[in-house]
């Protein structure tokens, strides 16, 4: 019923949209780091926005995808996109007007939490709770404000399955106001100063239609598990976390939240980018073009430009300092769609990933063929006395024409 080929990649804006929601890829290292960071702040009620952010984007997307479909067809549609996007497997056959008690043994969030962090003392699959609340609301034409959802068992806690219970009742997650449409910033782009950019980008451009959930509903690629993520979901989670930290600790809360969110971006840069640059696809399609460490960075940026995160380029690049730029950055576009303008740059994921990339290329032996994207390698990177610093200088949400970040020793 759902065909990913019906949604072509927007090469002009380096953007992918499916049924009203911008989509991009994230890896399990980033997602688990981000969620653990948020959950470690036990003094804020993060479940409200962890569930609510998922419910909001899925409700919007499914409302469009299920328009004109029967109840049975809508259930199939919800099951299919959950699987294709890499979140695992769900069976909505038993969902009815009263809700559902859903059990599954295939959950991206629970599986990858245990792989990376070990067992949790409480359930961690907030996304699926939000997804199910939204699916129930769309399929049975309910208002999200009258839905209650809880996860009662979790694979990450040592249980043999995940259980989510969706019922009519007091809503236990945040409901958000309608969003603006996505608005791109149409400015002339500074292209990557590298003669092989087009060849590398084209080689990976159509990869998004092959990166879909397997028979277990997972997307293993580049040595990580990927999810095709609704951009506004993960970005709202970040923005709401920072907002909650400000409510607790004022300006210091904002600073601390930003540093923690950039750290999650470091994990993305280190593990995902490291996985890409040690993959067989990289060795066959990219490595023949590489003559310097700077070429490695420009090639990786050319690949990343196919993932729905906007158009990345380099303004300045050396071992001591780099200036990266991103046109139509996915974090900024989300912020403006949901909140309007920002007083400061908020592109934490992109900035952290750029910093992780610099560490990989200049402070490890990855370019010499050593596979270093391991947990111990990440700890060594973060302990390094020659670690890179990050300074966000410009952002679309601040009124600038692009995102810009300095990474320097």
Is the domain of 112 the same as that of 30? yes
Is the domain of 32 the same as that of 129? yes
pLDDT of residue 383: 66
pLDDT of residue 363: 87
pLDDT of residue 382: 66
Calpha distance 198→299 (Å, rounded): 10
102 occurs within a structural domain: yes
Is the domain of 104 the same as that of 234? no
CB 157 within 8 A of CB 126: no
131 occurs within a structural domain: yes
Residues 6+ positions from 146 with CB-CB distance below 8 Å: 168, 169, 171
CB 276 within 8 A of CB 78: no
Average pLDDT over residues 165-184: 96
Interval 304-352: pLDDT, tens = 999 999 999 999 999 999 999 999 999 999 999 999 999 999 999 999 9
Is the domain of 154 the same as that of 202? no
17 occurs within a structural domain: yes
Is the domain of 45 the same as that of 94? yes
The parent domain of residue 311 ranges over 197-408
pLDDT of residue 373: 65
Provide the CA 46 distance to its chain's centre, in angstroms.
18
Query: Residue 212 is encoded by which pair of tokens?
Result: 């879909």
Which helix (H) or strand (E) segment is 101 a member of? strand 99-104
Is the domain of 372 the same as that of 280? yes
Is the domain of 276 the same as that of 354? yes
Distance in angstroms between the alpha carbons of the first and the last residue of the chain = 51
CATH number of 277's domain: 3.30.1380.20
Query: Residue 82 is encoded by which pair of tokens?
Result: 């959950």
Is the domain of 340 the same as that of 240? yes
176 occurs within a structural domain: no
CB 269 within 8 A of CB 360: yes
Torsion angle of alpha carbons 122, 241, 49, 235, nearest 10°? -110
Using DSSP's 3-state secondary structure scheme, residue 362 falls into: helix
Calpha distance 50→66 (Å, rounded): 24
pLDDT of residue 250: 97
Calpha distance 91→104 (Å, rounded): 8
CB 109 within 8 A of CB 117: no
1 occurs within a structural domain: no
Is the domain of 97 the same as that of 243? no
pLDDT of residue 378: 74
Assess whether pLDDT exceeds 80 at residue 142: yes
Cα dist from 356 to 34, 238, 254, 316, whole Å: 15, 19, 22, 17
Assess whether pLDDT exceeds 90 at residue 1: no
Assess whether pLDDT exceeds 90 at residue 377: no
Is the domain of 151 the same as that of 206? no
Interval 237-281: pLDDT, tens = 999 999 999 999 999 999 999 999 998 988 888 888 988 898 888
Residue from 237, 45, 235, 55 nearest 130 by CA: 55
Cα dist from 295 to 192, 240, 278, whole Å: 10, 37, 15
181 occurs within a structural domain: no
Say which range, 48-57, 173-182, 251-260, 371-380, has the weakest mean pLDDT: 371-380
7 occurs within a structural domain: no
Residues 6+ positions from 46 with CB-CB distance below 8 Å: 38, 39, 241, 244
When the pLDDT of each residue in the chain is averaged and rounded to a whole number, the result is 94
Assess whether pLDDT exceeds 90 at residue 381: no
Q: What are phi and psi of 42, to 5 degrees?
A: -65, -10
Calpha distance 133→143 (Å, rounded): 10
Residues 6+ positions from 259 with CB-CB distance below 8 Å: none
Give the CA angle between residues 232, 237, 240 to the nearest 5°: 115
261 occurs within a structural domain: yes
Average pLDDT over residues 386-398: 92
Is the domain of 120 the same as that of 211? no
Interval 91-114: pLDDT, tens = 999 999 999 999 999 999 999 999
Domain count, the chain: 2
pLDDT of residue 267: 85
Is the domain of 158 the same as that of 40? yes
Calpha distance 242→42 (Å, rounded): 14
Cα dist from 263 to 5, 269, 271, 349, 390, whole Å: 34, 10, 12, 8, 10
CB 260 within 8 A of CB 37: yes
pLDDT band of residue 175 (cuts 50, 70, 90) is very high
What is the number of other CB atoms lying within 10 angstroms of the CB of residue 160? Answer: 8
């Amino acid at each position: 019923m759902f065909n990913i080929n019906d949604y072509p990649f927007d090469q002009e804006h380096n953007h992918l949209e499916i049924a009203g929601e911008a989509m991009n890829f994230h890896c399990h290292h980033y997602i688990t780091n981000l969620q653990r960071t948020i959950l470690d702040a036990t003094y804020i009620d993060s479940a409200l926005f962890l569930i609510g952010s998922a419910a909001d984007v899925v409700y919007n997307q499914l409302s469009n995808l299920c328009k004109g479909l029967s109840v049975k067809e809508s259930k199939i549609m919800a099951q299919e996109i959950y699987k294709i996007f890499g979140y695992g497997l769900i069976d909505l056959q038993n969902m009815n007007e009263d809700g559902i008690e859903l059990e599954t043994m295939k959950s991206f969030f629970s599986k990858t939490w245990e792989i990376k962090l070990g067992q949790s003392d409480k359930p961690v699959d907030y996304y699926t709770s939000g997804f199910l609340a939204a699916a129930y609301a769309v399929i049975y034409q309910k208002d999200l404000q009258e839905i209650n959802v809880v996860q009662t068992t979790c694979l990450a806690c040592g249980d043999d399955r995940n259980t989510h219970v969706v019922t009519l009742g007091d809503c236990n997650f945040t409901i958000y106001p309608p969003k603006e449409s996505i608005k791109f910033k149409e400015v002339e782009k500074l292209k990557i100063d590298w003669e092989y950019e087009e060849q590398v980008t084209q080689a990976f451009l159509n990869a998004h239609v092959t990166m879909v959930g397997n028979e277990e509903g997972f997307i293993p690629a580049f040595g990580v598990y990927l999810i095709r993520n609704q951009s506004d979901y993960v970005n709202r989670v970040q923005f709401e976390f920072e907002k909650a930290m400000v409510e607790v600790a004022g300006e210091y809360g904002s600073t601390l939240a930003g540093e923690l969110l950039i750290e999650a971006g470091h994990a993305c840069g280190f593990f995902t980018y490291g996985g890409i640059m040690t993959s067989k696809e990289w060795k066959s399609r990219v490595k023949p073009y590489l003559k310097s460490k700077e070429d490695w960075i420009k090639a990786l940026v050319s690949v990343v430009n196919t993932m729905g995160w906007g158009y990345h380029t380099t303004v300045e690049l050396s071992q001591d300092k780099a200036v990266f730029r991103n046109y139509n950055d996915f974090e900024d576009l989300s912020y403006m769609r949901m909140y309007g303008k920002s007083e400061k740059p908020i592109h934490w994921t992109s900035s952290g990933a750029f910093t992780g990339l610099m560490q990989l290329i200049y402070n490890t032996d990855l370019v010499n063929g050593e596979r270093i994207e391991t947990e111990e390698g990440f700890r060594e990177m973060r302990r390094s006395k020659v670690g890179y610093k990050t300074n966000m200088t410009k952002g679309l949400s601040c009124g600038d024409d692009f995102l810009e970040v300095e990474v320097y020793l």
